[in-house]
Amino acid sequence: MIEIRIHGRGGQGAVVASAVLASALFYDGRYVQAFPAFGVERRGAPVMAFTRWDFKPIRIRTNVYQPDHVIVLDWTLILEGVDVTTGLKEKGWILINSSKEDLEVGDFSKYKLAIVDAGGIAVRHKLGTPTAPVVNTAILGAFSKITGMVTIGSVIRAIRENVPVKQEENVAAAREAYSRVHRVI
């Protein structure tokens, strides 16, 4: 079983990202689960969402405590003390949304690190606002590229079938992030 934890802020689309990723993985023939961690969700507050997949039915019904991979929708969460690596398996991917390619925000030497400017991409495609871009679909395009565990075609299909507004803009953002993700390690 592969488990993915998504860290974000309320309003960035972490919950939608987990659901779209699960749909894309389902289209690629996997069994899936997607769910949020409920707490004090409000716009701007730290939130988590999870996706699991396997080639056989999934019976576990818990939060993801030892993810194989982590997606970070807002790198400033790390500055605020959110330990995105908690429980992360060695050699797992950390995909961070940032316009900075040389982040110095933690020791990620045990992991594979990739950075994509999903915020800039979202702004170019008019997803959200310049001060609060909605980066979820862009980051999924980058995740598809770095991990190879889900096809970009299935990500695009999942966006078209699950994202209620600006579908083509979201598809374009995912495609752009797929081509622009920067592998650091």
Does the domain at 2-183 match CATH 2.60.120.620? Answer given as no
Integer-rounded Cα Rg, in Å, for the chain is 15
Tens digits of residue pLDDT in 44-84: 678 899 999 999 999 998 889 999 999 999 988 887 778 88
> To the nearest whole percent, how much of the chain has pLDDT over 90?
70
Sign of the CA dihedral 124, 27, 19, 117? Answer: negative
Query: What's the confidence (pLDDT) of residue 149?
Result: 94
Query: What's the confidence (pLDDT) of residue 99?
Result: 85
> Long-range contact list for 62-68, CB < 8 A, 24+ apart?
63/37, 64/3, 64/4, 64/5, 66/3, 67/3, 67/4, 67/5, 67/92, 68/2, 68/3, 68/4, 68/92, 68/93
Tens digits of residue pLDDT in 81-104: 788 889 999 999 999 999 876 666
Arithmetic mean of pLDDT, 117-140: 94
pTM above 0.75, yes or no: yes
Arithmetic mean of pLDDT, 6-28: 92
